Structure 1
């Protein structure tokens, strides 16, 4: 694994950078990795692209109270994925997707560190992350947190102090 040497940044999702996030998803991720399922043929058809935009507009870009905080992940200024913090009881649930080309290069670890700092800034007392048992990259990121396994689901909790 060659470590990334370019800066990894998180920028709040906006209408201006939402098309860049969609382009990154279409270029380098399967729709099921980055959004809820949409009926129809697999792949990034017009309906699925529109559903991706509507999904983010309905969760992070709402004029009233957003459901979650979503951040565009950039490596050296190039959009490669998204991260989110969703308020839950006593904390936030974190989620991340990174395009296939940028996985395994330390981007996830840099994002996790920044999400932890952002969670503290919004006053969260803990971070919860959920993944599947067959996602070794995510599980490695969660290795410092207390984890439980139930069936195919791994839930990790990290107290922020």
Structure 2
């Protein structure tokens, strides 16, 4: 029996859905997959939880100068990850993380298509994304989901896709 595709939505990040996003990260992602390095023992320490919240409050939720649009990725109404579009000159840089238990189900492809559609509604000329050579799933999303030209430079794989 074929499983129906999940109902995947992108909800603009807000103070109301920031806590469910943190809960999803703590339950289903390594801190180093979703935030910059914070010293301390492994796992989601109180300092890393605080850093996660403050990171988003300082970027997408900044009251006067948000530096990016961040979206909570939901499946059937449950927060399972995040996606972002960050202006970089005339381009938008895309980023996605999906909780481990939700990977491999096609959610990343759906989110990538939604990000590309949102980016096309802006004045940006291109959408870009960067990953590491070993992240095969992200490379596939960059190649097929963003329909990007891929460039490998040392430890960085960058995809660039025209929006016009």
Q: What TM-score, normalized by structure 1, do the two folds share?
A: 0.96
In structure 1, distance between residues paired with 2:160 and 2:133: 16
Specify the alignment match of 1:119 in structure 2.
119
Which secondary structure state, in structure 2, belongs to the residue aligned with residue 148 of structure 1?
A: strand
Deviation at 1:6, TM superposition (A): 1.7
**1:160 aligned onto 2:141:** no
In 1: Cα distance, 2:35 partner to 2:60 partner: 13
- Once the two structures are superposed, what CA deviation does each residue of 1:50-98 show, in whole Å capped at 9, x if it has no partner? 1100000001100111011000000111110000000012110000000
- The Cα offsets for residues 80-134 of structure 1, whole Å up to 9 and x where unpaired, read as 0000000012110000000000111000000000001111222211101000000
Name the structure 1 match of 2:140: 140
User: What residue is the counterpart of 2:32 in the other structure?
Assistant: 32
Q: CA RMSD in A?
A: 1.2
CA distance in 1, matches of 2:80, 2:113: 17
Q: Which residue in the other structure is 2:45 paired with? A: 45
> Structure 1 stretches of 5 or more lacking a match?
none
How far apart, in 2, do the equivalents of 1:123 and 1:19 lie?
31
Alignment check: 8 A CA contact 1:3 1:106 kept: no
Match of 1:104 in 2: 104
Segments of 4+ moved more than 6 angstroms: none
Unaligned runs of 5+ in 2: none
How far apart are 1:4 and its partner, in Å? 6.2
Q: TM-score, normalised by structure 2?
A: 0.94
- Residue 9 in 1 paired to residue 9 in 2? yes
Q: Distance in 2 between matches of 1:4 and 1:86?
A: 32
